[in-house]
Amino acid sequence: MEQQTLLPKKPLATTQSSGSGKRTRKYFIAANWKSNGTTHFVKDIITNMINSFEYDAGKLDLMLLPGLLHISLAQAMVAPHVQVGAQNVSQHGQGAYTGEVAAEHLADYGIQWVLIGHSQRRGVFQESQEVVAEKVKKSRENGLGVILCLGENLEQREKELTGQVLDDQLTSFHTALGGNWENVVLAYEPIWAMGTGRIASADQTQEAHEHIRKWLSKTVSPALGEAMRIIYAGSVTETNCENLIKLSQVDGFLVGTSSTKPAFRDIFETVQRQAGRDLA
């Protein structure tokens, strides 16, 4: 196994292309614990699993997304090369917004990344694309890196509207980001696969990722289209991750429920092996 490389806790820059056609995008895996876990759980999983992962941090980024109350504990416990981000942020700044956590608060707390646009925020909490875009804008104004979720629901997939939905979401993100895509990771999240046990086929996943990459190349720049990390999010498990990570357009995973279980080690090691092969 390659010697572990330790990186300082700083925003993760978008991997740049070498222009040679060889893959240079660093892999990315994020563990979204959602509203799960206790203090005991956090201590146990970090001590006995996360901190035991040995990998080349020049080839793979690992990020934990704990619940809000467990962020400080996770920050204090993780190895230096493991990033810790937040699962959500308010679309409002500081002010009379009881219960909200503003982007200013996350930045002040030393949190450098935030997950935005997850299907459960859109579905359960009815966050519109306008709200999602405002969260992106506020996060960027406060120097936060963002993992942006985008994807279609079942009705849109069945009506063959996936491309249009992705285009609309990307256009909204582009405006909210002010055209600056630095420190962004895109997570393709077919909503119909979230928590259902269903998963997009290899062809569906590759097609969606290619569509996103082509939009970036055409709308922003070919360099960004090649360099942007696009990860898959949608019922990722230890049994389906190996086929998905072999796809040329998939740069890693946003892992939900499986990231709270022992199976996360298998998922991580699958991504790690692929990174070792592709970025040797």
Catalytically annotated residues: 118, 189
How many helices (H) and strands (E) in the chain? 11, 8
Query: Looking at the DSSP assignment, which residues form a beta bridge with residue 64?
Result: 31, 84
Burial of 51 (0-12, 13-18, 19+ CB in 10 A): middle
Q: Where are the beta strands (DSSP E) in 35-189?
A: 60-65, 83-84, 113-116, 145-150, 184-188
Write down the residue that tokens 């990307």 correspond to: 170
Query: Which of 114, 164, 111 has its CA nearest to residue 135?
Result: 114
Taking the C-alpha atoms of residue 243 and residue 270, their distance in angstroms, rounded to an integer, is 10
Taking the C-alpha atoms of residue 195 and residue 239, their distance in angstroms, rounded to an integer, is 15
User: Element (H or E) spanning 28, and its range?
Assistant: strand 27-32
Taking the C-alpha atoms of residue 125 and residue 120, their distance in angstroms, rounded to an integer, is 7
Taking the C-alpha atoms of residue 90 and residue 114, their distance in angstroms, rounded to an integer, is 11
User: Element (H or E) spanning 139, and its range?
Assistant: helix 129-141
Taking the C-alpha atoms of residue 221 and residue 268, their distance in angstroms, rounded to an integer, is 31
Distances (CA, A) of 270 to 88, 106, 123, 277: 27, 31, 30, 11
Tokens of 252: 């890693």
